[in-house]
Amino acid sequence: MKVEGSWFPHAFIGSMEQVLLAANKQIGQPDNSVDDCIYTMACVEAAYKSSEQGGVTPVI
């Protein structure tokens, strides 16, 4: 199954909301971190690689 579409702009909605809330002192600090970004990118790259290799068959 081919992965279609673009995830990139939508991936930052929650993160940017947290940054803006922290900047406006509505929260103490964002609930995400640089580590979150690294793990997210690793997951996305794994999805691309899986798609290129034909995906996987789900076990039901």
| CA distance to 9, 10, 26, 44, 47, per residue, from 16 (Å) | 11, 10, 14, 19, 23
Average pLDDT of the chain to the nearest whole number? 80
Coil, strand or helix: which one is 13?
helix
Which distant-in-sequence residues (6+ apart) come within 8 Å of 10 by Cβ? Answer: none
User: Which token pair is 42?
Assistant: 């690793």
Confidence (pTM): 0.46
For the chain, the structural domain boundaries read 9-52
Report which of 8, 2, 34, 41 is spatially closest to residue 19, judged by C-alpha positions.
34
Mean pLDDT, range 29-37, rounded to an integer:
78
Give the pLDDT confidence score for residue 24 in this predicted structure. Answer: 95
